[in-house]
């Protein structure tokens, strides 16, 4: 177990049982979702990546995308 995780658990232990259970539930759901994503990502074939890249290039050509600086404006 990492030191950061140990610190987080120590803080969680200071909370009420209800809050501990709520945090544990959220963590377990997130952990399962992360495992699903990692499996799906690892199982993606080169052909699937190529098709996705072609779709993205086509969307860019058609002007169907939004520039990232519009989605995430700089904080200057």
Q: Residue 40 has which token pair? A: 């799906």
Q: Are 12 and 20 in contact (CB under 8 A)?
A: yes
Q: Please tell me the predicted confidence (pLDDT) of residue 34.
A: 96
Q: Where are the alpha helices (DSSP H) in 14-67?
A: 17-43, 46-61
Contact 58, 51 (CB under 8 A): no
Does the pTM exceed 0.95? no
Note down pLDDT in tens along the chain; length 76 residues: 999 999 999 999 999 999 999 999 999 999 999 999 999 999 999 999 999 999 999 999 999 999 888 889 887 6
Distance separating alpha carbons of residues 72 and 69, to the nearest angstrom = 5
Per-residue confidence (pLDDT) for residue 74, from 0 to 100: 84
């Amino acid at each position: 177990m990492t030191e950061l995780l140990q610190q987080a658990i120590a803080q969680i232990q200071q909370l009420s049982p209800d809050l501990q259970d709520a945090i544990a539930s959220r963590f377990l759901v997130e952990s399962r979702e992360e495992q699903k994503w990692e499996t799906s990502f690892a199982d993606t074939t080169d052909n699937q990546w190529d098709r996705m890249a072609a779709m993205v290039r086509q969307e860019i050509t058609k002007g169907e995308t939004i520039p990232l600086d519009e989605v995430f404006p700089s904080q200057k």
